[in-house]
Structure 1
Amino acid sequence: MEILRYAAFTADPAGGNPAGVVLDATGVSDTEMLRVAANIGYSETAFLVPRGSGRFEVRYFSPKAEVPFCGHATIASAAAYAERHGPGVLHLDTRAGLVEVSTTVQSDGTTTATLISVAPRTRPIAASDLTALLEALGWAPGDLDATMPPRVAFAGAWHPIVATASRQRLANLDYDMNALSRLMARHDWTTVDLVCRESPHVFYARNPFPPGGVVEDPATGAAAAAFGGYLRELGLVTPPVTVTVHQGEDMGRPSVLKIGIPAQPRTGIAVTGTAVALAR
């Protein structure tokens, strides 16, 4: 199979979140997909099986396990396809549901992709789980932003969303990987979305990803989509609106994610970013 490598949510190969992409994984077994993803070593690799007329079945694997949906690998896959076949709209049958992703190519050659997530939803986080989460992170209740209550949010995968009022608290992330991994495994959480609000429509984020065998994701499209649903459901923004999330800066791989939040409740969230090919 041909294995491509792209960085998503950046136009600079030194930034963004690297993803593996296999545009034609016809006949590839689950075992082989997991082996390839582990060998590549990125947080996720997307395996596409063409079904005709711009429709694909897509599987996403981290180095340790399959995940139902991955935003940055979706952006990377769409960019890789557009560079070979031209921009347009793809329909992706993921384990989380149908995801539409469209691409455009700018005059400078930069490829931009926008995915529309499955319908988002949020639910409360149990007090005992929040306590355990904060302990694993090394955070205290006083570190939290009282205006953005903790929740667990979904837009293809489940992510706890925990906001701090301190940009320094976010920058000083140093968590207990084993403890957090055990907690996330019990609840089938994919990453933890740690956020800090800089202004009404600008946020910083960090995403620990121990279930995938990765300390941290530098850009997480699935969490961004879930976060967009969270902002709308809790009335923390006035849609329709676009917000910007800066992620990866504290780990040296700056990424920019644009989140389009429509006004209609329970409708999919748009996540937009650029992607660039990496050297083999």
Structure 2
Amino acid sequence: MTAPTINGSRYPQPIEDLLPAARKLAKELDALPSRNRLMREFHIGAPKADELLSRLRDEADRQARADALHLHMVKRGSIAERVELFPTEPATDPADPPAAPEPAPPAVDPVEITPVDRVAEVNTAGHPDTPTATAPPRRAVVWPVVLLALPAFVAIWSGWVGLGGLTGFGVVHPLPGIWDSFSINSAITLPIGVETYGAYALYVWLSGRVPDRARRFAKWSAIASLLVGALGQVAYHLLEAAGVTSAPWWITTAVACLPVAVLGMGAALAHLVRTHD
């Protein structure tokens, strides 16, 4: 003899009739019941238990997504109350008497709400301390730096090239026997090396995106590079104003060491930028 089902009937029941009781069982267990539990609880076969379990799992997944969306909207201040999209309580028994209708709320004079007020009301509902959204600050433009750098580039370039000429730098043929007509003035290595390294080290120092060791090295080497550049300009103009055609030996020694020093500091900074503290 067939065992009675959840409502006392001995006839198979459709999934829609079993679903409210299955929701109630899942709520009591605080988890999805197993297929065997559904079969024992509702006296149903394995196919119907699998389908019922699949319905419960789909509802649980949709409720989890709805809860995640609700939490995101609450954090943004869009809504204040949780919306239950998928009920977990069993359906109301048709035999229960209907509930008494709630009394109508007292009439209130309508107040016109502008679209701006409505947006503010939604955003701050339940969150009176929520700060109002502000537009992101605009980033500072950089084109004035290019305008400022042009005259400085002309002065620094001419000063270093002139000092290089006074300290023995001049036209060389870097490819003898290969390209004899190719020549280059080695004095351009001074402004390119010293000033370019100073600008790069300054960028690494102020970027704040490198390890502390690299940042400290970039800071002091950038300051040193800028000081050496300033001293080079001062030395050239003093020598030029005095009519000197050949720089003293100590100035020549210091200027001759600059390319090597720049190469070493540049390689060291490149290694430090790629390391981790």
TM-score normalised to the size of structure 2?
A: 0.17
TM-score normalised to the size of structure 1?
A: 0.17
Relative contact order, CA 8 A, sep 6+: which one is greater?
1
Larger Cα-atom Rg: 2
Tell me which protein shows more strand as a share of its residues: 1
